[in-house]
Structure 1
Amino acid sequence: MTSLDDLPLRDDLRGKSPYGAPQAPVPVALNVNENTHGIPEDVAHDIVASVATAILSLNRYPDREFTQLRTALADYLGHGLSAENIWAANGSNEVLQQILQAFAGSGRSLMGFVPTYSMYSLLAMGTGTRWIAAERDEDFELSPETAAAAVSREQPDVVFLCSPNNPTGTPLSLETITAVYDAAPGIVVVDEAYAEFAPVGTPSALTLLPGRERLIVSRTMSKAFAFAGARVGYLAADPAIADALRLVRLPYHLSALTQAAALGALRHSHEMLAVVGEIRVQKDRIVAHLSELGYKPYRSGSNFVLFGGVADTRALFQSLFERGILIRDIGIPGHMRVSAGTEAETSAFLDALAALTSKV
Structure 2
Amino acid sequence: MENIKKIKLGSQGLAVPAIGLGTMGMTKNGEFEVYGSANEAESIATIHRSLELGSNLLDTADIYGPFDNERLIAKAIKGNRDAYIIASKFGYEITDEGTMTWAYNGTKAYVKNAIERSLKNLGTDFIDLYYLHRLDPNTPIEETVSAMAELVQEGKIGYIGLSEVSSSTIRRAHAVHPITAIETEYSLFERSVEEAGILDTLKELGIGFVAYSPLSRGFLTGNIKGADDFNENDFRKLFPKFQGEQFDKNLALVREISKLAEEKQISISQLAIAWVIAKGHIPIPGTKRIKYLEQNIAAASIELTALEMDRLEAIVPLGTKTGDRYDAFSMQAIDQ
Q: TM class by shorter-chain length? A: 0.3 to 0.5
TM-score of the two chains, using structure 2 as the length reference: 0.33
Q: Which has the higher contact order (CA 8 A, sep 6+)?
A: 1
TM-score of the two chains, using structure 1 as the length reference: 0.31
Larger gyration radius, structure 1 or structure 2 = 1
